[in-house]
Structure 1
Amino acid sequence: DGLGLLFALGLASNLLLYVYLLPYAVPTYPSLMSSAFTTLLIAGVVLFSWSARRTTLVGVLICAGFALVGAKLGQQGLPMAPFVSTLCWVAIGAALAVACARVLGRFRTGLIQRQDELAALSTRLISVQEEQLRRLSRELHDELGQSLTAVSSYLWLLERKLPPDLGELRTRAGEARHLVAKTLGEMRELSQLLRPPGLDLYGLAGSLEAHLEAFRGRHQIATKYTAEGLPERLPEEIETAVYRIIQEALTNVARHAHAKRVWVGLTARGDELRLEVRDDGVGLPADNGASRPSGIGLIGIRERVRALGGTVSLSSGPGGGACLRASVPMPREGGGAPTASGANS
């Protein structure tokens, strides 16, 4: 901002110097200067987002400088009428630039306000979503899980008490019990995906290790996890956001990357937490090289990072593979002593 102001003032001074040294290089030279000064002021408003106050200050300085140059040239015997008329046009141009600054300032203020409202709404929706997932996970585990366990027990008792001459019915009861057990296992896995209880009980590091172990067994993709300087516990919103970001990134790896190995890293340095998810898969599509990679999962990742005031980037190397990097601010009083850990498989 300061550099833009210096550039504009320097250019205006340069133009005034040309007017002083070559007042009539062409017959309409002073009038051409009024257009140049007006363009300079409007460019400052549009390109550098000058406020009306700053535009007024620069406009007053330009008018004062032009009047001073005209007075000096008048003392040298040059006619003053062209400079007076040009000064009037410069003043009109400055007033027009100030009006533009006020209009654009209102537009920018409204846009920033709406962006803040959208960010607050996004944060609220994420919070509500996490609460709903937590409630659904708890209901699946506690209520539906207990019901399925009871059904499995009843089927086991039925299987045990059936007489030997009803062997086919006993076989059917055993198959039903195995089906209930399979459903119970899948339901518990779904409950873990919705909201892992270890995230609330043991923190981010333990939950990620368990998730990576399950990911490795489910998709047959080797994983490596490292954590450097990570506190024992972080604020709940940071733990939840980082877990969800890595969870979504691993889901994308399993769906699209065709990778054989994935690396997950967390690094806490000072008041910043950095995460990286990298794979050795096919990388990003070629058409994403010039455009911003998009998708529901990536949009969710960006919204979670933005809600924490962080930054996120997705890149692909020339040799293949994709790398997701994110950085979020971390309070210094995060609690617990820093730890360093690593897991390979």
Structure 2
Amino acid sequence: MVSFPHKSRLRFLVQTGAVGLTYFAGAKLGLTYAVVGGAVSLVWPSSGIALAALLAMGNVVAPGIAIGSVLANVSVGVPLRIAVVIGLGATAAALAATWLLTRAARFHIAFDRIRDVLAFLLVAAIFSTAVSALVGATVLRSGGMLSGSQYGRAMLEWWLGDMMGVLVVAPPLLTLFTYRSAVRSAPQAVEACALAVATVSASYLIFGAPQLAGHGYYPAALAIFPFVVWAALRFDHPGASLSTLMVSIMAIWGTTQGTGPFASDHPVDSLVRWCAFANVVAITGLLLAAARAQERRVHGILLASQAELERRVQERTQDLQQANTELKQEMARRRQLEAELIRIGDRQQRLIGRELHDGLGQHLTSLGFYCASLSQELQKHRHPAAADAATIVELVRQASLMARKIAHGLDPIALESGGLSAALETLAQTTGTLNGIDCRLRIGSEVGQMDPPVQINLYRAAQEAVNNALKYSHGRHIWIDLEFEAGVQRLSISDDGVGMDPAQMGHTSGLGFYNLRHRASLLGGACAVTRNATGGTTVVISYPVAQGPGHAREIM
């Protein structure tokens, strides 16, 4: 706990001293190109050094900026009081730019957004440098180091020099503090070396080669832009800032040597032209790098959103598949339950039919015998009630016959002995006998053997459809057809009665029609109720099977 303030103090001294020395070195370099009063230079790297130090290390290193500025100005003969004011002005401008960027503009020193580049340009490169230039030129004028005619030009040149330092020097320094290497593979390293060699070579040919560089031919400088674009798009902010720095160094060297498109007979004019060009190159590179970074960030967000969407779709698909599986299992269980209920119902019907046949039928037979004996006795004694007894005998015989037919309907013995064909034939004969209606059965010989559950379902469906026809059609003919065609087996029951309304057919909720549809679903097929060509009703139950071809036969 005791050693912490000492370490903090030591760190503060080291950082402040390093910033002061770096600022002093940059200022000495810039003052070698002083154009007015020995203190105004168009090459001023120290403005970029000051801004980068404050953004990366914090405001605690601000004293180093002031000390470096004072020492540099005093070293070239500027009076101490003027040097102090200049140093305070440079420090205040850098502090103001840092505060506005970090607090107001929410600046990212990685330059990964276009808004960051624009804020850097407006706040740091234009506003803060204008403040520094205004303070510096004004104190030089008040100290007698500038004449009134030199004041405006000196302030403009000071401003351009500081702007060049901010735009050209600050971005590469911030890269050293904040940016990881833009070269992530061997091919990229080769490309980076090729880019550096190409940029330096092109810069030398444009700005330094006496035999090629043309005085005043400004379009030649445009040849440097493809290399800046290459660096910005392929190597982001580090590539753009370092390529701008290399171009600037070569351009300063060539322009001060009197070569290149910006060289003229007046060195000050040469540096002014070059300074404006360097600022444009720096802004272009930074904007392209920021736009590329934003594009990659948006692309990454889109990829992440796509991955998240695919993950959610997969989750929903799995949920739907699970729900579908559970639904199918539930439907299978319901189908099994319903099939079991139908089997139980059929079993009960058969039990009732056997009870009718074996119980009520036997009683009616015995009653018939007794009535016949009584009738014979009465006739033998010529009793007046003999005719009534004969009538009773006939009624009992009819009741016994009707009970037997009903029992056969409830318990189709023919279904067990002769299969579905025999049961349907019995159904047709019984329907014609009991109801006095013409009922015909037509079975295609291609209809093969069927499992007992299929047979009982088809028989009950035919029985239900025939009963419906007897109830509602009021017709004179009923046709039962069982046929196979194109892998589909059909059982159809038709009549020539009054028919049903199609709308009523589609929305009917009667138990009979529900039973027909349900039995069709148990077979994996469907039940359709339509109006036929005779005006009556046709009930068709169809389901897929595998059978062979054949011919049809008609059974009366």
Q: Confirm or deny that 1:147 pairs with 2:368.
A: no
Q: Does 1:225 align with 2:441?
A: yes
CA distance in 1, matches of 2:427, 2:406: 12
Shift of 1:149: 1.0
Structure 1 equivalent of residue 527 of structure 2: 312
Alignment partners' CA distance in 1, 2:406 and 2:554: 26
Cα displacement (A) at 1:286: 4.1
Which is greater in Rg? 2
**How far apart, in 2, do the equivalents of 1:165 and 1:272 lie?**
68
**Corresponding residue for residue 90 of structure 1:** 306
* Counterpart AA for 2:516: I
1:133 and 2:345 matched = no
Going from structure 1 to structure 2, the CA distance change for 1:232 and 1:141 (only over 3 Å counts) comes to farther
Q: Which amino acid aligns with 1:180?
A: V
Q: Secondary structure at the match of 2:383?
A: helix
Distance 2:425 2:379 in 1: 48
Q: Is the 8 A contact 2:488 2:545 kept in 1?
A: yes
What are the equivalent positions in structure 2 for 1:274-285 lying under 5 Å apart? 274-285=490-501
Using the TM superposition, name which of 77-86 and 314-323 deviates more.
314-323
* 1:296 and 2:296 matched: no
Q: What SS does the aligned partner of 1:282 have?
A: coil
Matched, 1:250 2:462: no
The structure with the largest strand share of the pair is: 1
Aligned partner of 1:341 in structure 2 is 553
* Structure 1 residue 319, shift from structure 2 partner: 7.2
Please tell me whether the aligned partners of residues 232 and 338 of structure 1 are also in contact (alpha carbons under 8 angstroms).
no
Q: Is residue 280–residue 322 contact of structure 1 (8 Å, CA) maintained in 2?
A: yes
Number of aligned positions between the proteins: 267
Question: What is the deviation of 1:342?
Answer: 0.7
Residue 160 of structure 1 pairs with residue 372 of structure 2: no
Matching residue of 2:418: 202
Q: How does 1:29-48 map to 2 (within 5 A)?
A: none
Unaligned runs of 5+ in 2: 1-232, 235-287
Alpha-carbon deviation of 1:124?
A: 0.9
User: How far is the alpha carbon of 1:232 from its aligned partner?
Assistant: 7.5
Contact 2:443 2:481 survives alignment (8 Å): yes
Superposed displacement of residue 121, structure 1: 0.8
Local SS of the residue matching 2:445 = strand
Post-superposition offset of 1:220: 4.4
Partner of 1:178: 394
How far does residue 339 in structure 1 lie from its aligned partner after superposition?
A: 7.0
**5+ long unaligned stretches in structure 1:** 1-73
Q: 1:91 to 1:127 in 2, by over 3 A?
A: same
Describe the shift of the 1:320–1:166 C-alpha distance in structure 2 as closer, same or farther (beyond 3 A): closer
Match of 1:273 in 2: 489
Structure number with greater CO (CA < 8 Å, separation at least 6) is 1
* Partner AA of 1:200 in structure 2: E
Check the 8 A contact 1:263/1:279 in 2, yes or no.
Answer: yes
The structure with the largest helix share of the pair is 2
- CA 155–221 in structure 1, closer or farther in 2 if over 3 Å, else same: closer
* Cα distance in 2 between the residues matched to 1:260 and 1:162: 42
The CA distance in 1 between the partners of 2:533 and 2:554, in whole Å, is 28
Contact residue 527 and residue 542 of structure 2 kept, 8 A: yes
CA contact (8 A) 2:526 2:542 kept: yes
- The residue type equivalent to 1:149 in the other structure is T
Identity of aligned residues (%): 24
Distance 1:204 1:301 in 2: 17
Letter in 2 for 1:263: W
